[in-house]
Amino acid sequence: MSLEFLIEKTSGPGRRGRLRTPHAEIETPVFMPVGTVASVKGVPQDTLEELGAQIILGNTYHLYLRPGVETVRKMGGLHGFMSWNRAILTDSGGFQVFSLSELRKLTEDGVTFRSHLDGSSHFFSPESAMEAQISLGADIIMAFDECTEYPADQARMRQSMELTARWAARSKKYFEEHKHNVPWKTPLGKEHVATAAFGRVTTGQPKAAVPTCFERTQSLFGIVQGGMDRALRKESAERTIEIGFPGYAIGGLSVGEPRELTREIVESTLEHLPKDKPRYLMGVGTPEEIVEYANLGVDMMDCVLPTRAARHGLLFTSEGKVSIKQARYVQDQGSLDPNCSCRVCQRYSRAYLRHLYASNEVLAQVLNTIHNLTFYLDTMRRVRHSISLGEEYRFLSGVWSRPAP
């Protein structure tokens, strides 16, 4: 096996665990910063390490177009290319093909599309998406799926879900036959002895180390689709589980539907996913949402919100959102978030951050992104801590609470 998942503690449906990948062990629930083209925009890798980013996400569609998977493969995969020795996850490229490119033709075989960069024509299939992701060499890669648009009628949701299921089987088949082509050049320095039985669910302390064979290949996750229909989501989950993956993602959410509906679909879909495997909710969400979904039992989340909002001067703080461009901050000597220990809040005033943003200085993006990522990663740290403490303590919407007895 190339992935181990140990649940160390549960609190209601929420779980605190450890996910062992070839490059790093990850504490879950985890938030994964998005590094679209092998860079979390504006943030050097050593700073990401300082912030405690355990795993970052790369976008296969973007990397395929630029610099191209062959270049990344020759540099030892994304880890070597971008000099990042912690874990990486790549998406399948499907979501961007449908959302960013000019889609030319969708067939059972795959998708022909035009690059959003130069209009050139390309083809993605489950097989070619796997080939690309094996060359990119992330620790966790994703099956090629079709992200169903919102709104969609029942027939469309079913047809799309079924296509995703067939593509999942093809993705797994290609992956199993080619996974040893991963471009990692050298094994990790230290002996790989598993610290726990794979997938063992426990609510107590970690088990003593149980030596198992840990294979240094990638892991392929399946993706549950099915639009906003609970029955289709259940069927999609069952069909994906039948194919069999070491982890399962919930895709096709946060695509424009009301937040209540997102939550309903997440909660109902989680019921049908195996408890002993990591569950990844794709493309979600606000700070409140990542807390909510982690407490519902989601183990992994990614979202462009903290990094994208930072570029637009929207900053998340313990006292609420701050739009740093506002004139009210021109002479505000206070720190951005008095409860934040990041290097931005410890050093700079709101007035300075406002000035950098208003002057269109690159440092604005750098500092804003560092702060927003800190806020997200700190939020997830608090969620993990609250799950460790047990059901009496909850960390919700940025506030610790202990329900009355």
Place of tokens 């007035």: 351
**Is the CB of 205 or the CB of 360 nearer to its own copies?**
360
Q: How far is CA 258 from the centre of its chain?
A: 21
- Find tokens 């799950």 and name the residue: 387
What is the C-alpha end-to-end distance of the chain, expressed in Å?
A: 44
CB of 133 to its own copies, least distance (A): 18
Task: Give whichever of 104 and 347 is closer to its own copies, judged by the CB atom.
Answer: 347
Least separation in angstroms between CB 83 and its own copies = 5
Write down the residue that tokens 């169903």 correspond to. Answer: 148
State the nearest-atom distance from the C-beta of 101 to its own copies, in Å.
17
Shortest spacing between CB 333 and its own copies, in angstroms: 6
**Residue closer to its own copies (CB basis): 46 or 191:** 46
Give min distance, CB of 86 to its own copies, in A: 14
d(CA 279, CA 19): 11
222: left (phi over 0), alpha (psi -120 to 50) or beta: beta
Residue the block writes with tokens 């690159």 = 362
Residues that bind its own copies (CB under 8 A): 37-39, 41-46, 66-67, 71, 74-75, 81-83, 330-331, 333, 343, 347-349, 351-352, 355-356, 358-359, 361-363, 365-367
Angle at which helix 259-270 crosses helix 287-295, to 10 degrees, equals 20
**Active-site position among 91, 145, 299, 378:** 91
**90: how many CB neighbours lie within 10 A of its CB?**
26
- How far apart are CB 179 and its own copies at their closest, in Å? 24
Is residue 91 part of the annotated active site? The answer reads yes
Unique residue bearing structure tokens 């879950």:
28
Quote the CA–CA distance of 203 and 226 in Å, as a whole number: 32
Q: What's phi and psi for 277, nearest 5 deg? A: -115, 150
Among 139, 145, 299, 302, the one annotated catalytic = 302
Alpha carbon dihedral 401, 337, 88, 394, in 10-degree steps, equals 0
**Residue 299 appears among annotated catalytic residues:** no
Contacts of 155 (CB under 8 A, 6+ apart): none
Which pair of structure tokens corresponds to residue 401? 């609470």
Q: How far is CA 403 from CA 356, 382, 384, 390, 399, in A?
A: 42, 17, 18, 12, 12
Q: How many residues does the chain have?
A: 405
Catalytic residues: 91, 302
